[in-house]
Structure 1
């Protein structure tokens, strides 16, 4: 008996399946995974209901990707003004009306909001309900609407796409001293005339690094605390070292190997106590941002009552199905990656399997997953890192091109970073690529495409790249690989041939 049959038996043992259904699909959560799932269902002419308790667009639009990138842009402009002499102009210390910076961020959100709005999705044929959803049985969803009324829907399939929220570690005194997260800072700091004077950022991952660097560039005295031995532990050491050096140059005081052990308030003075080795010290602050990671939203949806296992994420099979095959999960709540683009990627598999799984199911494909951290310099990666390849004993070659040798990077004053590619020994098949530098997230797309469609470095080398562009770095690294693999015997034959041709 396969797992699906076991799941079906478990379902029928406790609940009675309706003879008819109100909907083909109910989607819980209107972030990236939920929006894409509902969109696909409507395009397939299914009757679909999308349920959202908070804001359409989810975390990415309202609290994450969009506002943080708007903040990064403002901070970058301030940095360029401060270093205008690098471009032959007069450097000036920027006046930063912080409330205006925050207002711009909210305008950016408002400009993008219509893409994810109730009106747009209603126009696409999706029924949108604003309220809290709970599973009553494998085919019934109860919705407590924001107006206080209650509605029950029966549906053939359900997709759980409830996203994630900032994880707040149990540090003694943290709640009492008050803290910000990537979800709350956009409103809490909205009306401040200046950036927080003394800011502690707790966490050295992508979110922590992006925020720490941005606030430092906008005038805050930033102290970044990370328990690990270095920032951005998921990336190779050479990549994180470049980012850390840049952040320190921007004035961020980076404390790695420091563990936060307590917080408190003495009068008007807030403090955090950190431990480094056996030494403890207290650091005063005006605001603290907790950015140590995000935890999936798993509670309150009735999953446990249906026997669906939830630990770190909702347990699913390769088809994104839970214990009950008609209940699927996608996005941060399903793991294994917490990226908006992966959530949308999973949504295709979840929605197709939910609507057509009785005919054919598709396994979620994680073979080529890219990501980027939008610090300055940016760090972007797809596939294996060098550290992962060594740790897993995967045979590989490393080819590296320094962006400091690229004409356009030199002209732009952005001559730092590198492109590093891992390949199968003796072959040009790409196992992974890491780019550190200006627009690394954009430049990575060529390697993502190549890996997805089985193209090697030879294909990249044989492709014309516009001169002068940063994209030439990709061709340059392919050229480096080719030079390392020239056949010496053939070269000697060529030399003899050319000598013979001269007479």
Structure 2
């Protein structure tokens, strides 16, 4: 087994070396070609056999010579013989690469492929062999990477071979045609021959033609069994009036499209009515109480008195103040037709609501998400609250809850727990994981737990709720037997996309977790888009708004123009004290993806503005690509973290490095200087000592 492999490798090296070290003049290349063709004439089987084995070996070992081998083979053997040899050799070599990966290099391949592997696994789960066919026809992923990645999937080797054989044939034919034309080149003037120009033109146009053909086929397959209307009542229908739906409707109205927005519940969605707005209003009251208690550190004596009914009334007032921005009246004034009710999709273009039907060229699903209630014994009998029902329960009290239990140590749980504790309530926060905010940096989790504990929250990490009861008081029993009594229970363990009851199942759109979309937010049916919590992966108001305008723009501009949704980094924050803000990669994520990086850390205790305000806690941490100032991600812990992070997110979005932040004048003293000072720390760590030595000698010389 080893001798044929070594022989094939030696032949490969010889052929490639001959190709590159031969006399590069037209006459020298022609002599090389003529010599090989003469040998082929005298040995009609030997040369094709050696070439075939060599090509299979190159493909199996994922060596970067496949394109050159294709051109060389076509020049030697002509179009038809070259096409047969190269087509079968490339498919066989790819299959061998798959088998080698599957049985010998599984761990290495996973580390090598990183994010590509996840995308391919998702594609195989969604489309199976057709996904492989699309990759072969349009090599968005390099062939060698696809070979390695599919070796880590469960696809049968024979199926991989057949799909690769068929899928690579059109592209191989184009390259072989180009190589055959190059093989006929006898002088430089031949470069302008119609055949060679046509071959290069085919190379340039083939990806576009293949992509268009694949798109047409995909659309026909997706719409099989449905009859498309000849005309439409609307340009766009948006289902859901949360952040994503409102932005999508606004974009469509500004583009003078005829757009209908359907909402069954409250305009503004969860963010306005039960999420961001009421929670941040509660946090503001909690912060005022905490600041009053800490005022003595600044030389001011204050004793806060919490008026709980007034706190809750203010939250309602804040919602009422902001609500007109999201109201039916405002959107109708913008030109949006707003309908109140439950919408169902009858087919990919027809929407029905309360007996009314209309056709729409495109549809955006912005149905949002609902809180998850875990299936635990006795939980439903103790009247669990969610982020949607919490505010009514709190408004019915005349004082902060004295015994409140919160399940879930994510952003919602941490924010509500700290705010109520600061206002004088008694709160126990239970988190099943070994730390709070498990997606954040470990140091952030420790700081959050310390801060919540300092404010009076009882934090229990690594604690799992087992069952609930109410005999006579309400209680939760943890793993290990510990029981905790409570008056109010908030369940904040996550949110699930609202996908049922919209007719998606009948259309073949998967609804098991979130609505699966491509990079342009299109679902399985290309004229139906999804945005916001319904599409994921981030359940954030700013992410939903960003996706809303992407979905609307793509829906209205198709097929002439489209935008990718994932190009903008989405910042996120936890509005505790200290605040936590993050964008891009964490250290753990960079390490998992095997990305070469370095970490820059700047403590806020060194920031002059923080010192003047008596704040000594927190840091700015920026993850930078190794060897450059490219920002891969950042985490900010401390006061005004969300504002400090904004500049870093802007730099990432527009591909500006730390050097640009450092060279931008900032107000002094300000919190925004924290980002600049972090960039300065990075610069200090990358000063070339040799250059400094040269500068020192130069300055000494100038002094005379």
Give the structure-2-normalised TM-score: 0.69
Deviation at 1:366, TM superposition (A): 4.1
**In structure 1, the residue corresponding to 2:364 is in which secondary structure?**
strand
Contact 1:264-1:270 within 8 A present in 2 as well:
yes
The CA RMSD over aligned residues, in Å, is 1.4
Corresponding residue to 2:328 among 108, 118, 141 = 118
Query: Does 1:203 find its partner at 2:416?
Result: no
Deviates more, 1:49-58 or 1:366-375: 366-375
Corresponding residue to 1:485 among 673, 682, 686 = 686
What does 1:10-89 align with in structure 2 at a 5 Å threshold?
Answer: 10=221, 12-89=223-300
Deviates more, 1:315-324 or 1:491-500: 491-500
Corresponding residue to 1:313 among 490, 509, 514 = 514
Deviation at 1:10, TM superposition (A): 4.1
Q: Deviations over 1:326-360 (max 9, x none)?
A: 11111100011111111111112211121121222
Q: Distance in 1 between matches of 2:606 and 2:519?
A: 44
Corresponding residue to 1:167 among 372, 377, 388 = 372
Deviation at 1:310, TM superposition (A): 1.4
Residue 247 of structure 1: aligned partner: 452
Q: Distance in 1 between matches of 2:226 and 2:408?
A: 45
What does 1:269-348 align with in structure 2 at a 5 Å threshold?
Answer: 269-275=473-479, 279-348=480-549
Corresponding residue to 1:184 among 381, 389, 393 = 389
Contact 1:426-1:485 within 8 A present in 2 as well:
no
Deviation at 1:4, TM superposition (A): 4.1
Corresponding residue to 1:143 among 353, 361, 377 = 353
Return closer, same or farther for 1:184/1:17 CA change in 2, 3 Å cut-off. same
Contact 1:11-1:138 within 8 A present in 2 as well:
no
Q: Deviations over 1:360-387 (max 9, x none)?
A: 2222224412111111011111111112
Instruction: Identify, as 1 or 2, the structure richer in strand.
Output: 1
Deviation at 1:83, TM superposition (A): 1.9
Deviation at 1:240, TM superposition (A): 1.7
Return closer, same or farther for 1:248/1:3 CA change in 2, 3 Å cut-off. farther
What does 1:337-486 align with in structure 2 at a 5 Å threshold?
Answer: 337-486=538-687
**In structure 1, the residue corresponding to 2:362 is in which secondary structure?**
strand
Q: Distance in 1 between matches of 2:215 and 2:429?
A: 48
**In structure 1, the residue corresponding to 2:341 is in which secondary structure?**
strand
Q: Distance in 1 between matches of 2:223 and 2:518?
A: 20
Q: Distance in 2 between matches of 1:132 and 1:48?
A: 17
**In structure 1, the residue corresponding to 2:659 is in which secondary structure?**
helix
What does 1:98-117 align with in structure 2 at a 5 Å threshold?
Answer: 98-117=308-327
Deviates more, 1:106-115 or 1:367-376: 367-376
Query: Does 1:225 find its partner at 2:437?
Result: no
Q: Distance in 1 between matches of 2:692 and 2:231?
A: 74
Deviation at 1:499, TM superposition (A): 2.8
**In structure 2, the residue corresponding to 1:129 is in which secondary structure?**
strand
Deviates more, 1:96-105 or 1:7-16: 7-16
Deviation at 1:491, TM superposition (A): 1.1
Q: Distance in 1 between matches of 2:557 and 2:591?
A: 41
Greater relative CO (CA pairs within 8 A, separation 6+): 1
Unaligned regions of 5+ residues in structure 2, if any? 1-133, 135-212
Q: Distance in 1 between matches of 2:415 and 2:683?
A: 36
Deviation at 1:7, TM superposition (A): 4.7
Q: Rg: which structure is higher?
A: 2
Q: Deviations over 1:230-261 (max 9, x none)?
A: 00011101112112111110011110000111
Q: Distance in 1 between matches of 2:214 and 2:505?
A: 19
Q: Deviations over 1:412-465 (max 9, x none)?
A: 122210001111123211111111111100111110111111111111111111
Give the structure-1-normalised TM-score: 0.96
Q: Distance in 2 between matches of 1:137 and 1:359?
A: 24
Residue 179 of structure 2: aligned partner: none
Q: Distance in 1 between matches of 2:476 and 2:298?
A: 40
Contact 2:532-2:548 within 8 A present in 1 as well:
yes
Query: Does 1:194 find its partner at 2:399?
Result: yes
Contact 1:7-1:323 within 8 A present in 2 as well:
no
Q: Distance in 2 between matches of 1:4 and 1:297?
A: 29
Contact 1:7-1:324 within 8 A present in 2 as well:
no
Q: Distance in 2 between matches of 1:4 and 1:281?
A: 58
Unaligned regions of 5+ residues in structure 1, if any? 145-149
Deviates more, 1:253-262 or 1:359-368: 359-368
**In structure 1, the residue corresponding to 2:301 is in which secondary structure?**
coil
Contact 1:4-1:325 within 8 A present in 2 as well:
no
Q: Distance in 2 between matches of 1:499 and 1:372?
A: 50
Q: Distance in 2 between matches of 1:249 and 1:296?
A: 35
Deviation at 1:188, TM superposition (A): 2.0
Q: Deviations over 1:377-417 (max 9, x none)?
A: 11111111112112222111111010011111011122210
Q: Distance in 2 between matches of 1:382 and 1:338?
A: 14
